[in-house]
Copies of this chain bind each other. A is one copy, B any other.
Amino acid sequence: MEVSYYHCLQTPVFSRRGRVKFSGGFKYGCGNNKKSHFQVLACTPVADKGLSFEKKDALIRHGNQAKFMTAIVVGQYVETLLASVKWDDKGLAVAIAQNVDTGAILMQGFVNRDALATTVSSRKATFYSRSRSQLWTKGETSMNFINVHDIFVDCDRDSIIYLGKPDGPTCHTGAETCYFSSVSKLLEHPEDKKDTLAMTTLYSLETTICERKDEISRQTEGKPSWTKKLLLNEKLLCSKIREEADELCRTLEDNEDKSRAASEMADVLYHSMVLLALKDVKMEDVLEVLRHRFSKSGIEEKKSRNHKTRDQPSC
């Protein structure tokens, strides 16, 4: 079977030393046999189901060279997906990588057909570098891959979300995400050069609580805030958590209004997060626990079943 450029999962390039190099940067030994096989990275559950990718013996051509290999070819539904994207005049679409637990936007790049197909197959966020004119998988140098759990295409079909879990900081600067320059701060405090990560409400609150904890260890002066008081008094903190949980229950038992329930839940969350700060536990860790318990995806569901304890109800 002849496999065209478009059908091949990754574009193989034959090096002078008889090795197969992939545009994604991975290398596979090829040997000297006329009929040789190469390993393809990440045999995903999707590939296992045979829905999107199939393993086939295939003749791969490149320049004057041609070799038989066990190739993975794109299946019907991936073809449908790739054909449905509105690629721009350069054959590209925008791809945004987002942390599945925290919602943080990790980075944004561009993808072409091959980059998207590679991500679907390998489940590692892969982009097309416009400056280097080649595919690159985030993490191929730093090993901080972004493990993609699902991919979403927007209503115009020209913008893509890679929803996944990063192995470590995403930015080449070592920052958690690439977005750490706040315009508001530039305008209001232009002299302050400290980075400010783009953070949504929950993580902004978590950061504030952690800052208060750091201030305690640095013994800064001034009237202590409520958060500091809680951090310094475990008995007070625990009595507040129990009290707020009780008040949340009362909004249901006493049929109080919705705004009261939202307010009490906010109290439960805030006080519990102060406790988490004392225990050095991140909300991201908590959400990861919830994802493993309740995620509907096949792999996650299995993990959840295998590791379930008495405290982990099914949903």
Contacts and interface: CB of A to CB of B under 8 A. Distances in A.
Given A245-B268, A313-B226, A278 B252 contact: yes
Given A81-B186, A266-B289, A287-B202, A208 B315 contact: yes
Given A108-B154, A187-B52, A201-B100, A290 B261 contact: no
Nearest to A257: B279
A190 B104 contact: no
Contacts of A264: 311
A281 B260 CA distance: 10
Interface string A104-120: 11011000000000001
Contact of A179 (B161, B249, B251): B161
Interface string A76-116: 01101100000000000010101111111101100000000
A245 B248 CA distance: 11
Nearest to A273: B265
Contact of A286 (B49, B153, B198, B266): B266
A155 B178 contact: yes
B227 A101 contact: no
A35 B226 CA distance: 55
B212 A315 contact: yes
Interface string A295-315: 111100000000000011111
Interface string A250-266: 01110000100111111
A171 B155 contact: yes
A159 interface: yes
Interface stretch (A14-22, A65-73, A136-144, A236-244): A236-244
Given A150-B198, A152-B179, A297-B184, A248 B270 contact: no
Contact of A241 (B163, B248, B278, B312): B248
A210 B227 CA distance: 33
Given A182-B150, A184-B150, A251 B225 contact: no
B153 A179 contact: yes
A6 interface: no
Given A108-B154, A244-B245, A245-B245, 15 more contacts: A96-B108, A105-B161, A151-B182, A152-B183, A153-B179, A155-B172, A188-B298, A202-B290, A204-B291, A208-B294, A227-B315, A242-B246, A245-B268, A248-B275, A266-B287
Interface of A: 46, 49, 51-52, 77-78, 80-81, 94, 96, 98-105, 107-108, 120, 149-157, 159, 161, 163, 171-173, 175, 178-184, 186-188, 190, 196, 198, 200-202, 204-205, 208-209, 212, 225-227, 234, 237-238, 241-242, 244-246, 248-249, 251-253, 258, 261-270, 272, 275-276, 278-281, 285-291, 293-298, 311-315
